[in-house]
Amino acid sequence: MIKKTVLKELNDQLNRELYAAYLYLGMASKCTEMNRLGYAHWLKEQAEEEIEHAMKFYNYIHDQCEVVELAAVDKPALKGKTLLDFFKQAHEHEKLVTDYINKIMDLSIKEKDYATQVFLQWFITEQIEEEAQTEAIVEALQVCGDDAAALYLLGKHLAKRED
C-alpha cells in the first residue's frame, strides 16, 4: 500500500511526464516550422517516450490499487527561438525531472515504501540517459555554431532516432 504522501508525488510526477511530452511536442512543432525536420523527429520521439513514462506511473498507481489523479496540462513555456535554445531547455528540463524523481525516492525511503523504491529505480537509471542525450545534443549544436552544413548533418543524425 502506497502512503498518501508518496501517492500524491507519484500522481504529480505522472502529470509532469505528460507536461514534458507537451513541451517536447511544442519544440518539435517549432523545429518543423523552421524546416529542421531531423530535430523535430528527435523531439517527437522524445514526446512519445515521455508519454510512455507517464503510463508507467499510471499503471504502477493502478497496480497498487490506488487512484490516478490527472491534472490539466499547462501550455508549454518554450524558451528561445533557436535549436540550441530548445535543446538547452530540454537538458534543463531533464535535470529538473531527475530532481523530482530523486525527491520521490527520498520520500519513499522515508516512508519505507519499498515497492515504490523498486519502481523508481528504473526512472533513476533512465534519467542518466535522458540528461546525457540532451547534453550531447547541446554540445554538438555548440560545435556546429552557425555552420549550415554541420547543422544539416546533425539533423540527419537525429532523424535516425527510432525509440
Could you read off the pLDDT of 67-96 as tens digits, one per residue? Answer: 999 999 999 999 989 999 999 999 999 999
Spatial CA neighbour of 90 closest among 134, 145, 143, 26: 134
Tell me what the pLDDT averaged over the chain comes to: 96
Quote the pLDDT of residue 162.
Answer: 83
Residues in contact with 70: Cβ distance below 8 Å, sequence separation at least 6, in sequence order: 14, 15, 18
At 35, give phi and psi (nearest 5°).
60, 35
Where does residue 111 rank: exposed (0-12), middle (13-18), buried (19+ CB within 10 A)? middle
Domain-wise residue ranges, the chain? 4-75+83-158
CB 30 within 8 A of CB 85: no
pLDDT tens digit sequence for 9-53: 999 999 999 999 999 999 999 999 999 999 999 999 999 999 999
pLDDT tens digit sequence for 100-143: 999 999 999 999 999 999 999 999 999 999 999 999 999 999 99
Question: Higher-confidence residue: 154 or 162?
Answer: 154
CB 23 within 8 A of CB 93: yes
Cell numbers linked to 92: 534543463
Instruction: Please provide the CATH number assigned to the domain covering 4-75+83-158.
Output: 1.20.1260.10
**In which region does residue 71 sit, left (phi positive, over 0), alpha (psi from -120 to 50) or beta (all else)?**
beta
Spatial CA neighbour of 74 closest among 12, 10, 6, 9: 12
Spatial CA neighbour of 83 closest among 22, 131, 32, 19: 32
Separation between Cα atoms, residue 53 and residue 46, nearest integer Å: 10
Is residue 59 scored above 90 in pLDDT?
Answer: yes
Residue 161 pLDDT grade (very low, low, confident, very high; cuts 50, 70, 90): confident
Separation between Cα atoms, residue 24 and residue 124, nearest integer Å: 20
Separation between Cα atoms, residue 108 and residue 128, nearest integer Å: 20
